[in-house]
Amino acid sequence: MTESPVPHEPPIYRRIADQLRNQILSGELRDGDRLPGENAIMAEYGIARATARQALAVLINEGLAVPRRGSGVYVRLFRPIRRHGSRRLSREQWSQGRAIWDADTRGRAYTVDEIRIERVPASEAISRLLDSDDVWVRRRRYSIDKRPVQLSSSHFPADLVEGTAITAPDTGPGGVYARLGELGYSPVHFTEEVRARMPAPEEASLLKLPAGTPVIVVCRTAYTMGGMPVELNEMILDSASYVLQYDFDA
């Protein structure tokens, strides 16, 4: 009779990471708690520094921990944002003066900063899409529970929105889509393209991403009833902070 092979035991750094992960997910270690340092892990398990560093790196790469220079590695727990693709963009949401982000946050505190608004020459691709040589661009950063989660850059045909609240820091109730509606260009159809990549250095800095954390890139185009594109919005999402939900009928 052939004996069953003995299951391969994971390397020691993986077993240490599993133990720490269980402590985090069970609530024994809470958000903001400092994890055992390399020296403590080396002493407890009798391992080399490189192995202790590998164990902590597993949790950092999973988004469960974040290193702070000169201080240590800390638990980084965050309740993911459920981004419902169609519900957040419904006309009922913005036409009644509610912000799109209210659908995402569901009562959680959020802030918008790093706001930059400018008129610039459009890139070739954006000029072709929006049929405009110049665009007004609204750049901003969103944070939930004091954690940066998304960067957004919205592009609009320059002459279409010139002199409107879309070019001001505060766009008013309902945001840019309500203002487009007042101009006679209500968005009625949206397309979104989604992909993942590693962040650029500036993106990682603004989102305060741990090393090795990818971002989700969502490019959304808004169209009027007549099929005219009136906005291109590129959103950079911290992948560890989001669940993307899309509902479809069979």
pLDDT per position as a tens digit, 173-192: 888 999 999 999 999 999 99
Query: Under a CB-based contact definition with an 8 Å cutoff, are residues 97 and 178 in contact?
Result: yes
pLDDT at residue 85 tops 70: no
For 65, the 3-state DSSP assignment is strand
Could you tell me what percent of the chain has a pLDDT over 70?
Answer: 86
Instruction: Please give the structure tokens belonging to residue 229.
Output: 């594109």
The pLDDT of residue 250:
73
The pLDDT of residue 4:
52
The pLDDT of residue 102:
65
Confidence of residue 89 (pLDDT cuts 50, 70, 90): low
pLDDT at residue 6 tops 70: no
The pLDDT of residue 121:
97
pLDDT tens figures, 27-74: 898 878 899 999 999 999 999 999 999 999 988 877 788 888 888 898
**Total residue length of the chain:** 250
pLDDT at residue 86 tops 90: no
The pLDDT of residue 96:
57
* Cα–Cα distance, 226 to 107 (Å, whole number): 35
pLDDT at residue 100 tops 90: no
Per-position DSSP letters for 211-233, written without gaps between them: TT--EEEEEEEEE-TTS-EEEEE
What are the angstrom distances between the C-alpha of 30 and each of 21, 41, 63, 74, 210? 11, 19, 14, 9, 18
pLDDT at residue 195 tops 90: yes
* Cα–Cα distance, 186 to 225 (Å, whole number): 8
Confidence of residue 218 (pLDDT cuts 50, 70, 90): very high
pLDDT at residue 94 tops 90: no
pLDDT tens figures, 130-164: 999 999 999 999 998 888 999 999 999 999 999 99
Question: Residue 28: CB partners within 8 Å, gap ≥ 6?
Answer: none
Helical H runs in the chain? 12-25, 38-45, 49-61, 91-95, 100-105, 124-130, 158-161, 175-182, 201-207
Nearest to 140 by CA among 204, 84, 206, 86: 206
Query: Under a CB-based contact definition with an 8 Å cutoff, are residues 81 and 147 in contact?
Result: no
The pLDDT of residue 43:
93
Residue environment code for 176-209, b if the CB has 16+ CB neighbours within 10 A, otherwise e: bbbbbbeeebbbeeeeeeeeeeebeeebbebbeb
The pLDDT of residue 64:
83
* Cα–Cα distance, 186 to 29 (Å, whole number): 48
* Report for 8-12, 16-20, 91-95: range of highest mean pLDDT: 16-20
* Cα–Cα distance, 99 to 201 (Å, whole number): 30
